[in-house]
Structure 1
Amino acid sequence: MNAFTIKDLENLSGIKAHTIRIWEQRYSFLNPQRTETNIRYYSGDELKTVLNIALLNKYGFKISHIDKMSIAEMRDKTLSLNQAQAQIERMVNELISCMVDMKIEEFEMLLDGYIKSKGIEKTIPQIIFPFLERIGILWITNHINPAQEHLVTNIIRQKLIMGIETCQSALNPKKTVLVFLPEGEHHELGVLFTYYLFKSRGIKVIYLGANVPLKDVEYVATLKKPDLLYSHLTSVANNFNFEKFLVNVQNRIPEFQVIVSGALTQNYKKRIPTNVSFKKSLTEVMEYMTAL
């Protein structure tokens, strides 16, 4: 059985923990259990209820009104929301619910439907990135089973690879990018999306994959002479030293421009090597690619 802390509910729903506690005191839709040390924990069903309540409340429904609804009525009301952003947030909630319940076929069906409607390039930033951002904390705290993580990430990975393979764009032979993940980084989803974005814009991609020693990057870069190197860091191993990686990049491949995006770039305060540039958000990544 899935068990979630009040902090998990806060991260997944966007509702502050103290607000959730007030809801518990005033309304009947949440009844958490407690551990032997008196710490609240919530079931998967309660998580899904909070997700629906947060969505309805954000788009105009009063909590006192929501409290009188049955689970089925809450579900119907979320489906009736016609604002574009509300529909996107509902989709993300549905993916989270499918993951919690291990409804993997439904998870894939939802993704396939959105990809068919909007295309892979819109699906990734609108649906998949917000989904991964919201559930990422659960992976760190081990509040979901690793099997759940592997199942959903492998489905997303398949969709990205499918998008890369089917992408049709006239290549610009004057532009080549070498894409890789350094040793200690195994999370490919972000860098696969950048692979898709480069290819869709007519840029030739040399993809080395995950967990690549820098000496191998140096060898291929020296041989193929790409216009730039690109890496996206999501969640590296504990022994990964970002500063050391950047210094090694400067020392081993100073003649190449290296672009780095991902979570590790956002709080890095030390000096950045002259041949390295950070892209700290998806917007910055997209703007950079458009300017190439």
Structure 2
Amino acid sequence: MNAFTIKDLENLSGIKAHTIRIWEQRYTFLNPQRTETNIRYYSGDELKTVLNIALLNKYGFKISHIDRMSRDEMREKTLSLNQAQAQQERIVNELISCMIDMKLDEFEILVDGYIKTKGIEKTIPQIIFPFLERIGILWLTNHINPAQEHLVTNIIRQKLIMGIETCQTPLSQRKTVLLFLPEGEHHELGILFTYYLFKSRGVKVIYLGANVPLKDVEYVATLKKPDFLYSHLTSVAHNFNFEKFLVNVQNRIPEFSVIVSGALTQTYKKRVPTNVTFKKSLSEVTEYIGAL
């Protein structure tokens, strides 16, 4: 059985935990269980209910009205929302539901259906990246069960690679970026995400991939002379020393500007080398690339 904390519900639905607690007191659609230490936990069905309620409430339905609906009625109302943004958010919710229930065929059918109607270029920013941001894969990896993560990320990785291969843009920045993940980092979705964004902005990409020794990064950078380097750290190995990595970056490739994003940048408090810049959120990454 899937069990979710109130923080999970907040992360996945966008509804603050304080609001969820108020809903529990006033309405009937949530009935959490409690652990022996009195901590709330919610079922997968309750999570899906909150996703639907959050969507309907955002697009004009009063909570008191939603409270009188059955789950089937909620589902019917979400399908009837005709705003484009609402439909995108509904599909993201459905992807989350498929992930929770491990319905991988349905998950891929949803993604492929969107690709068929909108194209891969719109599918990536409209539903794939919002989905990844909601479940935390781009920045943190503890929002969902690791088994669920592996199953859906393998599907999404294929779609991202397809998007990268088919991406065409009239833009040409005459800039080159070298993308890499350091030794101990194997989560490629974040760096593939940036690959797509850079390519869509007309930036030439040299992609080294995951788990790359810094000496190899130095060799390629010295040979190819990119305008800057980029790395995204999602969930590195336990023995990964972020401070040591930054010091080595400064010592080995001081002449190159290096952009680093991901979860580790959000908590790092020590001095950052002069040739390294942190991007601490998805919005900072997209704003940086959009401004090139």
1:239-254 pair list within 5 angstroms? 239-254=239-254
Following TM superposition, by how much is the alpha carbon of 1:96 offset from its aligned partner in structure 2, in angstroms?
Answer: 0.6
Moved more, 232-241 or 97-106: 232-241
Contact 1:187 1:235 in 2 (8 A): yes
Question: Residue 142 of structure 2 aligns with which residue?
Answer: 140
Question: Residue 222 of structure 1 aligns with which residue?
Answer: 222
What is the distance in 2 between the residues matched to 1:120 and 1:263? Answer: 27
- The amino acid that maps onto 2:142 is I
Alpha-carbon distance change, 121 to 236 in structure 1, aligned in 2, over 3 angstroms: farther
Following TM superposition, by how much is the alpha carbon of 1:97 offset from its aligned partner in structure 2, in angstroms?
Answer: 0.5
**Corresponding residue pairs, total:** 290
Question: Residue 199 of structure 2 aligns with which residue?
Answer: 199
Which consecutive segments of 4 or more residues in structure 1 shift more than 6 A? 170-173
Question: Residue 279 of structure 1 aligns with which residue?
Answer: 279
Instruction: Please give the per-residue CA displacement for 1:119-176, whole angstroms capped at 9, x wherever unaligned.
Output: 43443333223322322289416x52x2211111111100011112223458979543
State the Cα RMSD in Å.
2.7
- Find the residue that maps to 2:210 and give its secondary structure: strand
Instruction: Please give the per-residue CA displacement for 1:168-221, whole angstroms capped at 9, x wherever unaligned.
Output: 458979543221011222211111122223334444322111111111111222
Moved more, 247-256 or 78-87: 78-87
User: Runs of 5+ in structure 2 lacking a partner?
Assistant: none
Contact 2:121 2:167 in 1 (8 A): no
Contact 2:141 2:234 in 1 (8 A): no
TM-score (norm 1): 0.87
What is the distance in 2 between the residues matched to 1:279 and 1:22? Answer: 35
Following TM superposition, by how much is the alpha carbon of 1:29 offset from its aligned partner in structure 2, in angstroms?
Answer: 1.8
Alpha-carbon distance change, 289 to 42 in structure 1, aligned in 2, over 3 angstroms: closer
Question: Residue 5 of structure 2 aligns with which residue?
Answer: 5
What is the distance in 1 between the residues matched to 2:185 and 2:18? Answer: 36
1:39 aligns with 2:29: no
- Find the residue that maps to 2:28 and give its secondary structure: coil
Question: Residue 109 of structure 2 aligns with which residue?
Answer: 109
What is the distance in 2 between the residues matched to 1:173 and 1:291? Answer: 11
Contact 1:88 1:126 in 2 (8 A): yes
Moved more, 199-208 or 59-68: 199-208
Alpha-carbon distance change, 36 to 73 in structure 1, aligned in 2, over 3 angstroms: same
Alpha-carbon distance change, 122 to 238 in structure 1, aligned in 2, over 3 angstroms: farther
What is the distance in 2 between the residues matched to 1:53 and 1:110? Answer: 21
Contact 1:171 1:204 in 2 (8 A): no
- Find the residue that maps to 1:36 and give its secondary structure: coil
1:124 aligns with 2:124: yes
Alpha-carbon distance change, 58 to 222 in structure 1, aligned in 2, over 3 angstroms: same
What is the distance in 2 between the residues matched to 1:291 and 1:44? Answer: 40
Following TM superposition, by how much is the alpha carbon of 1:87 offset from its aligned partner in structure 2, in angstroms?
Answer: 2.1
Percent of residue pairs identical: 88
1:51-200 pair list within 5 angstroms? 51-136=51-136, 139-140=141-142, 144=145, 146-168=146-168, 175-200=175-200
User: Runs of 5+ in structure 1 lacking a partner?
Assistant: none
Instruction: Please give the per-residue CA displacement for 1:228-259, whole angstroms capped at 9, x wherever unaligned.
Output: 22212223334333332222111001122222
Alpha-carbon distance change, 245 to 32 in structure 1, aligned in 2, over 3 angstroms: same
1:257-276 pair list within 5 angstroms? 257-276=257-276
What is the distance in 1 between the residues matched to 2:281 and 2:136? Answer: 17
